[in-house]
Amino acid sequence: MKKFTIKDIINGYKNDDEEGVVTFGGKLDIRPKYQREFVYKDKQRDDVIRTIRKDFPLNVMYWVKNGDNYEVLDGQQRTISFC
């Protein structure tokens, strides 16, 4: 298991309606074209941010290797929330 800082993950964040959402310097595909759109309500998004600010852990988020890059398998909503 690898651990990354939020600063590492949000590096290069881009949200494009057509192409999806990428970050981590372009190496992490948070929302590939086939994934559903961001669905968290404002309160849910704010709860994720509040959790981070209080230094509480977020649940594990899973990435899968896809060539030289990664895709989010689980944790899309939380990742987009803090990005």
pLDDT for residue 31 is more than 90: no
Question: Tell me, what DSSP letter sits at residue 5?
Answer: -
Contact of 26 with 12, CB cutoff 8 Å: yes
Asked if pLDDT for residue 29 goes beyond 90, the answer is yes
Q: Is 11 exposed, middle or buried (0-12, 13-18, 19+ CB in 10 A)?
A: middle
Neighbours of 52 (CB within 10 A): 15
Domain edges within the chain:
6-82
pLDDT of residue 22: 93
Q: What is the band of 23 on the pLDDT scale with cuts at 50, 70, 90?
A: very high
The DSSP output letter for 73 is E
